Amino acid sequence: MLERDLRDRNFRTKTKLLTTGATRGGIPFRRGSLFYLLSNHFYVGEVKFKDEILPGQQPVIMDRKLFDAVQQKLRDQWSHRTVTRNASDHLLTGLLYDDVGNRMVPTHATKAGIRYRYYISSPHFDGNSKTAAVGSTSRVPAADLENVIVKSLTEHLGLG
Protein backbone atom coordinates (compact mmCIF):
# COMPACT_ATOMS: atom_id res chain seq x y z
CA MET A 1 0.00 0.00 0.00
CA LEU A 2 2.81 2.44 0.90
CA GLU A 3 4.75 1.34 -2.17
CA ARG A 4 1.76 2.07 -4.40
CA ASP A 5 1.09 5.45 -2.75
CA LEU A 6 4.71 6.55 -3.24
CA ARG A 7 4.65 5.39 -6.87
CA ASP A 8 1.40 7.31 -7.52
CA ARG A 9 3.00 10.46 -6.05
CA ASN A 10 6.18 9.83 -8.12
CA PHE A 11 8.53 9.55 -5.11
CA ARG A 12 11.82 7.96 -6.15
CA THR A 13 15.03 6.79 -4.50
CA LYS A 14 18.06 9.05 -4.28
CA THR A 15 20.09 9.31 -7.50
CA LYS A 16 23.82 8.62 -7.25
CA LEU A 17 26.36 9.55 -9.94
CA LEU A 18 29.13 6.96 -10.27
CA THR A 19 32.71 7.79 -11.21
CA THR A 20 32.08 6.00 -14.52
CA GLY A 21 29.42 8.59 -15.36
CA ALA A 22 26.57 6.11 -14.95
CA THR A 23 23.79 6.82 -12.49
CA ARG A 24 22.13 4.52 -9.99
CA GLY A 25 18.88 5.11 -8.17
CA GLY A 26 16.09 7.46 -9.16
CA ILE A 27 13.76 4.47 -9.30
CA PRO A 28 10.41 3.95 -7.58
CA PHE A 29 10.60 2.68 -4.00
CA ARG A 30 10.30 -1.08 -3.68
CA ARG A 31 9.91 -3.33 -0.62
CA GLY A 32 13.64 -3.50 0.10
CA SER A 33 14.32 0.22 -0.02
CA LEU A 34 11.21 0.95 2.06
CA PHE A 35 12.26 -1.62 4.65
CA TYR A 36 15.72 -0.05 4.86
CA LEU A 37 14.26 3.45 5.13
CA LEU A 38 11.70 2.53 7.80
CA SER A 39 14.30 0.63 9.86
CA ASN A 40 16.72 3.56 10.14
CA HIS A 41 17.56 4.25 13.80
CA PHE A 42 18.73 7.74 12.88
CA TYR A 43 15.12 8.94 13.30
CA VAL A 44 15.18 8.19 17.03
CA GLY A 45 18.63 9.67 17.68
CA GLU A 46 20.60 6.44 17.36
CA VAL A 47 23.23 5.12 14.97
CA LYS A 48 23.93 1.57 13.90
CA PHE A 49 27.60 0.53 13.97
CA LYS A 50 28.25 -3.05 12.89
CA ASP A 51 25.69 -4.99 14.96
CA GLU A 52 25.35 -2.39 17.73
CA ILE A 53 22.81 0.39 18.16
CA LEU A 54 24.51 3.36 19.83
CA PRO A 55 23.31 6.79 20.99
CA GLY A 56 23.89 9.36 18.25
CA GLN A 57 24.61 13.07 18.38
CA GLN A 58 21.74 14.01 16.05
CA PRO A 59 18.38 15.20 17.43
CA VAL A 60 15.45 12.82 17.70
CA ILE A 61 12.97 13.45 14.86
CA MET A 62 10.49 10.63 15.53
CA ASP A 63 8.70 9.50 18.66
CA ARG A 64 10.21 6.26 20.03
CA LYS A 65 6.76 4.70 20.50
CA LEU A 66 5.89 5.23 16.81
CA PHE A 67 9.30 3.92 15.68
CA ASP A 68 8.91 0.77 17.82
CA ALA A 69 5.39 0.19 16.46
CA VAL A 70 6.72 0.44 12.88
CA GLN A 71 9.54 -2.01 13.71
CA GLN A 72 7.04 -4.49 15.17
CA LYS A 73 4.88 -4.24 12.06
CA LEU A 74 7.94 -4.81 9.85
CA ARG A 75 8.96 -7.85 11.92
CA ASP A 76 5.44 -9.31 11.71
CA GLN A 77 5.47 -8.96 7.92
CA TRP A 78 9.09 -10.09 7.54
CA SER A 79 8.57 -13.62 8.85
CA HIS A 80 5.89 -14.19 6.21
CA ARG A 81 8.02 -12.71 3.41
CA THR A 82 11.07 -14.74 4.43
CA VAL A 83 9.18 -17.99 4.06
CA THR A 84 7.77 -16.87 0.72
CA ARG A 85 11.14 -15.69 -0.59
CA ASN A 86 12.99 -18.81 0.55
CA ALA A 87 10.38 -20.92 -1.19
CA SER A 88 11.12 -19.15 -4.49
CA ASP A 89 12.58 -21.26 -7.23
CA HIS A 90 14.26 -18.30 -8.98
CA LEU A 91 17.98 -18.97 -8.45
CA LEU A 92 19.26 -15.66 -9.78
CA THR A 93 17.01 -13.26 -7.86
CA GLY A 94 18.86 -10.00 -7.21
CA LEU A 95 21.82 -10.95 -9.43
CA LEU A 96 20.68 -10.05 -12.95
CA TYR A 97 20.69 -6.69 -14.73
CA ASP A 98 19.81 -5.80 -18.31
CA ASP A 99 22.29 -4.07 -20.64
CA VAL A 100 21.40 -0.56 -19.39
CA GLY A 101 21.65 -1.48 -15.69
CA ASN A 102 18.01 -2.17 -14.78
CA ARG A 103 17.50 -5.01 -12.33
CA MET A 104 15.87 -8.12 -13.78
CA VAL A 105 13.15 -9.27 -11.40
CA PRO A 106 11.59 -12.73 -11.22
CA THR A 107 8.01 -13.23 -12.31
CA HIS A 108 5.88 -15.95 -13.82
CA ALA A 109 2.86 -16.61 -15.97
CA THR A 110 0.51 -19.57 -15.74
CA LYS A 111 -1.14 -21.00 -18.81
CA ALA A 112 -3.22 -24.17 -18.82
CA GLY A 113 -1.94 -24.98 -15.33
CA ILE A 114 1.73 -24.75 -16.34
CA ARG A 115 3.90 -22.15 -14.63
CA TYR A 116 6.36 -20.35 -16.91
CA ARG A 117 9.10 -18.50 -14.99
CA TYR A 118 10.86 -15.40 -16.35
CA TYR A 119 13.26 -12.64 -15.36
CA ILE A 120 11.88 -9.33 -16.59
CA SER A 121 13.55 -5.92 -16.72
CA SER A 122 12.23 -3.75 -13.87
CA PRO A 123 10.88 -0.88 -16.06
CA HIS A 124 8.69 -3.43 -17.85
CA PHE A 125 7.70 -5.03 -14.54
CA ASP A 126 6.82 -1.64 -12.99
CA GLY A 127 4.95 -0.46 -16.08
CA ASN A 128 7.50 2.32 -16.76
CA SER A 129 8.86 1.00 -20.06
CA LYS A 130 7.54 3.99 -22.01
CA THR A 131 9.26 6.58 -19.76
CA ALA A 132 12.38 4.80 -18.42
CA ALA A 133 15.54 3.73 -20.22
CA VAL A 134 15.04 0.13 -21.26
CA GLY A 135 17.54 -2.48 -22.36
CA SER A 136 17.52 -4.52 -25.53
CA THR A 137 16.06 -7.52 -23.67
CA SER A 138 12.84 -7.10 -21.74
CA ARG A 139 12.47 -10.69 -20.52
CA VAL A 140 14.33 -14.00 -20.50
CA PRO A 141 13.04 -17.49 -19.65
CA ALA A 142 14.29 -18.35 -16.17
CA ALA A 143 14.76 -22.09 -16.71
CA ASP A 144 16.91 -21.66 -19.84
CA LEU A 145 19.15 -19.04 -18.24
CA GLU A 146 19.49 -20.92 -14.94
CA ASN A 147 20.37 -24.15 -16.75
CA VAL A 148 23.17 -22.41 -18.67
CA ILE A 149 24.53 -20.84 -15.46
CA VAL A 150 24.39 -24.09 -13.46
CA LYS A 151 26.02 -26.05 -16.30
CA SER A 152 28.79 -23.46 -16.65
CA LEU A 153 29.46 -23.42 -12.89
CA THR A 154 29.48 -27.20 -12.74
CA GLU A 155 32.06 -27.37 -15.53
CA HIS A 156 34.13 -24.53 -14.07
CA LEU A 157 34.26 -26.17 -10.65
CA GLY A 158 35.00 -29.59 -12.15
CA LEU A 159 31.90 -31.17 -10.63
CA GLY A 160 30.42 -32.51 -13.84
Instruction: Specify whether the CB–CB gap between 116 and 108 falls below 8 A.
Output: yes
Q: Per residue in 124-134, pLDDT tens?
A: 877 777 777 78
DSSP H or E stretch at residue 154: helix 142-156
Domain range list for the chain: 90-160
pTM of the model: 0.48
Task: Say what the pLDDT of residue 131 is.
Answer: 72
CA distance 99 to 97: 7
Task: Say what the pLDDT of residue 35 is.
Answer: 87
Name residues whose C-beta falls within 8 Å of residue 36's C-beta, 6 or more positions apart in sequence: none
Full 3-state SS string of 111-142: ECCEEEEEEEEHHHHHCCCCCCCCCCCCEEEH
Instruction: Specify whether the CB–CB gap between 46 and 56 falls below 8 A.
Output: yes
pLDDT in tens, the chain (160 residues): 788 899 889 999 889 998 998 888 888 888 888 888 899 999 999 998 888 999 999 999 999 999 999 999 888 876 655 555 555 678 888 889 888 888 899 988 889 989 899 999 988 877 777 777 788 888 899 999 999 998 999 999 988 6
Positive/negative CA dihedral, 23, 27, 31, 36: positive
CA distance 135 to 121: 8
Q: Per residue in 4-32, pLDDT tens?
A: 899 889 999 889 998 998 888 888 888 88
Q: Write the DSSP assignment of 73-125 as a string of letters.
A: HHHHHHHHHHHHHHT---TTTTT-B-TTSPBEEEEEEEETTEEEEEEEEHHHH
